Amino acid sequence: MDNIDEIQENFKFIVTETQTQVNRIHNFVKSPTREVYEKALNRESYINNLKTVIENKCYAYIHTHGDLDTRSLNRIRAVLSITANLERICDVCINILEQMDHLVERRILRNSEYAPMFQVIEESLDQVLQALEEAGLSKALHICRSEYILDALYRTSFERLTALLDAGRENAGNCITAVFIYRYLERIGDMLLNVGEAVLFAALGQRIKIEQFDSLQQTLENSGYTGAIENINFQAIWGSRSGCRIGKVENAGGGHMPEHGSLYKEGAPKKILREKENLEKWNALFPGSVPRIFGHHEDVDRASLLVEFLRGCGFDDLIILRDGETVTEAFRVLEKAVRHIWEKTLVPGQIAVDFMHQLQHRCDEVRQVHPDFAQRSDMAVGKARVQSIQSLIEQCTGYEKSLHAPFSVLIHGDFNTNNIIYDDQEHVVRFIDLYRSKQYDYVQDVSVFLVSNFRRPIFDANLRDRLNRGIAEFYSWALQFAKEKEDGCMQARMAFALARSFFTSIRFELNRTFAGAMFMRAAFLLESLSSHGQSGAAWETFTFPPELLYYTA
Amino acid sequence: MAAEKKFIFESLQDIKSISSFLEAIVEGMQTGKILLSSSDECIEMHPNGLLHLSIKAKKKGGNNKIGIKVEWKETQNQEQNTVLSVGK
């Protein structure tokens, strides 16, 4: 019977074997003997075998325990990953052994160079069992950091050896062999990094790269958190489409931390900085409407933010899950809040719109997922003609230039339903993910909201009906707003914006029928806009059938 | 066996734009030639002789469907159909 104890026992064996093998190679580099050489070679197949045994037992265990909780499953995944990396470390040990054979003169290797490298590796391997056992973050981080140290040590040796080569005073083959040996030791660092990250994964339940972890730690420190990193529960919440990573951070004891926990967001500095600036702007204009910022940290290529975790329910879940009365109330609160924001930030005066530019910007991604849609060619059915998508996009890009919004407002910029949080205790809505927020046409937020409902892959008739009702409610409210503001060409801009949202949304949808429904809506809107543009009629007279906003399962 | 040729065009249309497609098909029926083409495929059809027409309609709840299907077989040497003669 495969059980967890057997896995544990074999795992201990492979850790011990790796420690012994590394130690053996260390001794061999110091003073090579035939006996150690043969012993090391002989152990290689045993270690390979151990790896296979552990893999088999782990998969059998997962297979026979279908109801494993996430934590146990993550631990097994970590065991598998660590095992694979330990076996690779042992392979690299054999590579070093073989390289030693090619050395003409052993004195090219310096004890002062390789001994510290072996020491780092040996110390890291000593921590593996306990780190996984305790799910201890500091031990895991210690293992991860061995890679940095080994890199630095390798660089020193490499520079010395290349200088020798340049000077031409040393046998070239000898120098190169020595570089190989140091390089192999440096590569063990890469494998140890994987081992450390696997322990982090078991401890946090989240694949987190060491640089991200460092960034989280820095951000927490900047936020005034004084406790130990072990006291932080880091929980992945969702993968962000914008390429940022988001996790929930909670205090598990000790140290100062906000009450409801906070949200940790990490990504490209430009995006994070814009998000930070926008959060500050919104908080100044509309206090409490967006999360507070607790911390911020920036490196050359990564930046992170620690923001308030908002209590409440995302509008995406709310529309689907909550009772009719709550949904109605939530829409009333949302519409009131949005109207307040728009009215307060409204700047009169025409502004250009660029929905087609936004569409073109994402064309490649759409083409990758649905090439046949994105590349629909010119077609003919008898004398009736169908224009290619590309030429429709080009034409509409031209026509859009003649269209302006009569005023601008502060838009959210990514007004998806999952970026709107409703707190039914305080009856307020708050907004998250504001890095695209700017002064622009309100039609952008309306169309994104509508299509974020439409594009949900929900095909149950009752739930679909809820989505359709949400769409109808918000659209009729937006039409009313346009009417009040005497915005005569709102429908035309809405058609451009919807074409953009429908078209770009198909890149997230692999269900061909559903993606096709969105594509056909985009194509219909583009065809209508193009033919209206050609006619030279005023944009104020443009309308589209509202049915295309709805989907029936 | 001859390779299968297929042309598919699916779209959303309003009443005005759908009419232009239906008219184009009607015109093709009358002239005996309908050309259907895209960048990958070009099918020239010659509706001729006896054609099978099926018209199906369905209404269920809010869903409506009208299906129009025209099928025919292309006979080889259509012009030289064997003349059946009785007697001499």
What does the pLDDT look like over A146-175, one tens digit per residue?
Answer: 898 999 999 999 999 999 999 988 889 999
- pLDDT score for A249: 67
User: Tell me, which fold does domain A313-549 have in CATH?
Assistant: Aminoglycoside 3'-phosphotransferase; Chain: A, domain 2 (3.90.1200)
Is the pLDDT at A209 greater than 80, yes or no?
no
CB A392 within 8 A of CB A281: no
Q: Confidence band (pLDDT; 50, 70, 90) for A508?
A: confident
pLDDT band of residue A1 (cuts 50, 70, 90) is very low
Q: How far is A91 from chain B (nearest CA, A)?
A: 52
A55-114 confidence digits (pLDDT tens): 999 999 988 888 888 888 888 999 999 999 999 999 999 999 999 999 888 889 999 999
For chain A, where do the domains classified as CATH 3.30.200.20 start and end?
211-308
Task: Identify the residue among B6, B8, B10, B12 best suited for mutation to test binding to A, counting A beta carbons within 10 A and taking the highest.
Answer: B12
pLDDT, mean of residues B69-82: 69
B24–A548 CB contact, under 8 Å: no
> What percentage of residues in chain A have a pLDDT greater than 90?
65
At residue B72, the pLDDT reads 93
Task: Judge: A386–B9 Cβ closer than 8 Å, yes or no.
Answer: yes
Per the DSSP assignment, residues forming a β-bridge with B57 are B66
Task: Give chain B positions within 8 Å (CB) of A380.
Answer: 35-37
Instruction: Determine the residue among B16, B38, B40, B65 to mutate to test chain A binding: the one whose Cβ has the most chain A Cβ atoms within 10 Å.
Output: B38
pLDDT per position as a tens digit, A374-396: 889 999 999 999 999 999 999 99
Q: Which residues of A fall within a CB distance of 8 Å from B44?
A: none
H or E element, residue A199: helix A172-204
Measure the CA–CA gap between A375 and A384, rounded to whole angstroms: 19
Q: What is the mean pLDDT of chain A?
A: 89
- Region B59-86: mean pLDDT is 74
Q: Which residue, among A372, A375, A378, A383, would best test binding to B if mutated, counting the most B CBs under 10 Å from its CB?
A: A383
> Does residue A84 sit at the B interface (CB-CB below 8 Å)?
no
Residue ranges of chain A that CATH labels 3.90.1200.10 = 313-549
Residue A450 has what pLDDT?
98
Name the H helices within chain B.
15-31
| Backbone angle region of A543, left / alpha / beta, with phi > 0 → left and psi within -120 to 50 → alpha | beta
| Residue A77 main-chain phi, psi, to 5 deg | -60, -40
Model's pTM, two decimal places? 0.71
Q: Tell me how far apart the alpha carbons of residues A470 and A465 are, in angstroms, rounded to a whole number.
A: 9
Task: Please state, in angstroms and as integers, the Cα–Cα distance from residue B32 to each residue in A59, B48, B54, following that order.
Answer: 66, 6, 19
CA distance A15 to A85: 10
The 10s digit of each residue's pLDDT in B15-66 is: 988 999 999 999 999 999 999 999 888 999 999 989 999 999 999 988 899 9
Residue of A nearest to B30 (CA): A382
A521 contacts on B by Cβ (under 8 Å)? 12
pLDDT surpasses 90 at B87? no
Closest partner residue to B24 (CB to CB) among A381, A527, A548 is: A381
Domain covering A4-205 in this structure, CATH number: 1.20.58.220
Of B12, B21, B63, the CB nearest to A381: B21
Q: What integer is the mean pLDDT of A268-287?
A: 92
pLDDT of residue A259: 53
Which tens digit of pLDDT belongs to each residue from A304-313?
888 887 888 8
How distant is the Cα of A328 from the closest Cα of chain B, in angstroms?
Answer: 25
Q: What is the mean pLDDT of residues A295-319?
A: 83
CB contact under 8 A, B37 and A380: yes
- The two structure tokens encoding residue B70: 């025209």
A503: closest CA of chain B, how far (Å): 14
Q: pLDDT for A219-260, tens place per residue?
A: 666 666 666 665 555 554 444 444 556 666 666 555 555 555
What is the strand order of the sheet A428-431 is part of?
Answer: A313-314, A420-423, A428-431
Rounded to whole angstroms, the Cα distance separating A181 from A114 reads 9
Q: Is A524's CB within 8 Å of B13's CB?
A: yes
Predicted local confidence at residue A105, as pLDDT: 87
Residue with structure tokens 């492979």?
A: A14
The CATH H-level (homologous superfamily) assignment of domain A211-308 is: Phosphorylase Kinase; domain 1 (3.30.200.20)
pLDDT band at A542 (very low <50, low <70, confident <90, very high): very high
Of B9, B23, B34, the CB nearest to A379: B9
Q: What residues does CATH 1.20.58.220 cover in chain A?
A: 4-205
Strands A438-440 and A404-411: antiparallel
